Amino acid sequence: MEVEASNGHSNNNNNNKTSEEKSERERQIEEWLPITSKRNAKWWYSAFHNVTAMVGAGVLSLPYAMSQLGWGPGVAIMVLSWIITLYTLWQMVEMHEMVPGKRFDRYHELGQHAFGEKLGLYIVVPQQLVVEVATNIVYMVTGGKSLKKFHDTVCPSCKNIKLTYFIMIFSSVHFVLSHLPNFNSIAGVSLAAAVMSLSYSTIAWAASVNKGVQEDVQYGYLSSSASGTIFNFLNALGSVAFAYAGHNVVLEIQATIPSTPEKPSKIAMWRGVVVAYIVVALCYFPVAFIGYWMFGNAVQDDILVSLEKPAWLIAMANMFVVIHVIGSYQVYAMPVFDMIETLLVKILKFKPTTTLRFVTRNIYVAFTMFIAITFPFFNGLLGFFGGFAFAPTTYYLPCIMWLIIYKPKRYSLSWWTNWICIVLGVLLMVLSPIGGFRTIIVQAKTYKFYS
């Protein structure tokens, strides 16, 4: 009996030891992973991370989107999107700590809480990955194009260099920056990016005002056929959805803010979000409406292309875009790095080392560079990805989770608001990829690979 008792006792000790070792290893992993390693961010980190995530170079295609939507629908869709996405963002900030003592540091953790362990992963992770990887690819293209535009504006007599090389030059920065360990370490890059987004947006609309309304300006739809007009309209919806897609990194940004029962993280986070959304309005509305007003349907898919002069100002604006996109790329890449590293360390049991990080992150940057060089049709990609993945994660997934978790009373204001957002979001998701896909097909007819 004594032997059995002592055996039982040692078994218990062993079990305790292994569970302690396990929790110690888990704690070390959490401290190593980029999202959860440091929780000392201030509210203004939230402000500029959100501006960097939200105000992408997509803002420069808004006048073009307006030309495909027309005045009435265009203004309505722009303003509605601003209101809906602010509402869904508020929901996500609220849901971050709705379970006492627990924080949903990643979008998929919230999904798992709402939909169940497995289903939550299947619903959220693919969509979030598509959004973040697609954004990084689009930013590679944008960075390359803006560098090329800068080069061609500064030195019009220089030898013509392929876009491919400019994308490579742009990506070389990321082979260095991608090794910053976590969100807080990219705060400086992100702040610079947020300042740049305000700067180039202001240049875009101020230069448009300076140019004045063009002589033969027209506000009718460009396409001669009804089907062309409809497809363009749908593609423009995707561009607008892309412009409002910062929600994929919201919980990850909030995870870096400290939280106590007296001062939960949502207070600081929400303050940052409100500031960010004021900046978003200051960037988006003037650029979209003034750009369209001055150039009408002759506006280019990147407003800076329509503004040829003064050359020094346009060169400067393009350089600002490059700096901004460098920061945006990092903000969107961080959650991807977190997912890859979580998979390698927690599931495939790799050791959390600097070498592992070095290899995986370089492979990821090289992958996005390769895809960007291969398919640089910017506009169609925006419309396609904009609806396909951005609409769910930004416009209606938060609403579905809110309905599941909080169960608001039927036909109450909250119930109606969420259902309206869900219906509009689903329509956006179904319709805009059609327009984007057609644009890709039309552009692909004349496209030569690696030209």
Tens of pLDDT, residues 11-55: 555 556 666 766 787 888 888 888 777 778 888 888 888 888 887
* CA nearest to 395, candidates 231, 238, 194, 270: 238
276 touches 47 (CB < 8 A): yes
What is the phi/psi pair of residue 22, to 5°? -65, -50
The pLDDT of residue 14 is 58
Structure tokens at 451: 């030209």
The pLDDT of residue 403 is 93
The pLDDT of residue 53 is 83
DSSP 186: G
- The C-alpha atoms of residue 349 and residue 44 are separated, in whole angstroms, by 36
- For residues 8 and 415, the model is more confident at 415
Alpha-helical (H) ranges within 349-412 are 354-374, 378-385, 391, 397-406
pLDDT over 90 percentage in the chain: 24
Q: What is the mean pLDDT of residues 326-339?
A: 90
Least confident span in 96-110, 156-170, 378-392: 378-392
User: What is the greatest pairwise CA distance in the chain?
Assistant: 101
Q: Which domains does the chain have, with CATH numbers?
A: 34-444 (1.10.4160.10)
The pLDDT of residue 402 is 93
- The C-alpha atoms of residue 225 and residue 221 are separated, in whole angstroms, by 10
The pLDDT of residue 359 is 94
Q: Which residues neighbour 165 within 8 Å (Cβ) at sequence distance 6 or greater?
A: none
393 touches 131 (CB < 8 A): yes
Q: What is the mean pLDDT of residues 127-155?
A: 87
- The C-alpha atoms of residue 131 and residue 117 are separated, in whole angstroms, by 21
388 touches 245 (CB < 8 A): no
- For residues 109 and 21, the model is more confident at 109
235 touches 432 (CB < 8 A): yes
The pLDDT of residue 270 is 93
Q: What is the mean pLDDT of residues 151-167?
A: 88
Query: Over the stretch 377-390, which tens digit does the pLDDT of each residue have?
Result: 655 666 676 667 77
Measured over the CA atoms of residue 365, residue 371, residue 377 and residue 383, the dihedral's sign is negative
Query: Over the stretch 191-247, which tens digit does the pLDDT of each residue have?
Result: 898 899 889 889 888 888 888 887 777 787 877 788 888 888 887 887 787 788 778
- The C-alpha atoms of residue 441 and residue 450 are separated, in whole angstroms, by 17
Query: Over the stretch 428-451, which tens digit does the pLDDT of each residue have?
Result: 888 878 777 777 777 777 766 665
The pLDDT of residue 310 is 77
The pLDDT of residue 447 is 67
Q: What is the mean pLDDT of residues 315-331?
A: 90
The pLDDT of residue 289 is 92
Read off the pTM.
0.85
- The C-alpha atoms of residue 346 and residue 78 are separated, in whole angstroms, by 42
Q: What is the mean pLDDT of residues 305-312?
A: 76
- The C-alpha atoms of residue 432 and residue 315 are separated, in whole angstroms, by 32
Q: Which residue has the tokens 């027309």?
A: 70
The pLDDT of residue 413 is 93
Q: What one-letter code names the amino acid at 80? A: L
The pLDDT of residue 256 is 86
State the CB neighbour count (10 A cutoff) for residue 290.
18
- The C-alpha atoms of residue 374 and residue 372 are separated, in whole angstroms, by 5
C-alpha of 438 from chain center: 23
